[in-house]
Amino acid sequence: MKIGVLKTDDVRKELVGEYGEYPEMFADLLRSQDPTLEFSTYEVQHGQYPAQVDEVDAYLITGSKTGVYDDKEWIPPLMDFVRKLHDQKKPTIGICFGHQLIAQALGGRARKSDKGWGLGVHSYEMQETPSWMSEPTNSFNLLVTHQDQVDTLPPGGRVLASSEFCPMAMLQVDDHMLTFQAHPEFTKPYSNSLMELRREAFGTDVVEKGQASLQNDIHENMVAKWMLEFLRK
């Protein structure tokens, strides 16, 4: 399988040397489940897209510091491309910004939450067990860095998992789009480094709570398996 990564942001320059860019993080995560996977990266933040939708087997939209509602010239073309993927029923996964963008592009809504920043390890409760999931669970933990959230589902969307902090944390749209607010590609060291780097922006109290949560387990490998099961179903 060849996955096209739609890259919507760059890792902070202070961290990229140690942790790599987002496409590398996703490749490391997903190849832990299937070493034969191939990846192509498209810098959609700079207007780069595949020549044809079927250039790859599936797509993954990364996270970004940008909000889906921001006035950035590259966002409307990306929303148009998401609608094209939706029309062609192309298997697509959205992560954080990608999760919000898919919802917004297809008729839902994402906005800045009045709950503020979510950092560190968050826990989610499953609301529905889809048929493609081979190892059902009642809950799972992942790393997060976000203050924007989806608050309105797009047509055909349903909530698979939620938390008190983020009620629409894992969504499926029809049978070909799967989205997560959290970051299965993040590692605890990267999350900790990001919190330290942005301590002033996040707020010390929120950072310290997020750092304390890093003692909890995360289930990134289980979620990576879900992602591949969804793309291959």
Residue 19 Cα distances to 194, 201, 222, angstroms: 11, 21, 21
Active-site residue, 183 included = yes
**Catalytic-labelled residue, pool 99, 122, 185, 219:** 185
Q: Rounded distance, CA 56 to CA 2, Å?
A: 5
**Catalytic-labelled residue, pool 96, 146, 176, 219:** 96
Quote the DSSP letter at residue 111.
E
Quote the DSSP letter at residue 153.
P
Q: Rounded distance, CA 102 to CA 178, Å?
A: 9
Q: Rounded distance, CA 33 to CA 2, Å?
A: 14
Residue 17: what residue type? G
Active-site residue, 185 included = yes
Quote the DSSP letter at residue 71.
-
**Catalytic-labelled residue, pool 176, 183, 219, 220:** 183
**Alpha-helical regions (H) of 167-219:** 188-197, 199-202, 204-212
- Among all residues, which ones are annotated catalytic? 96, 183, 185
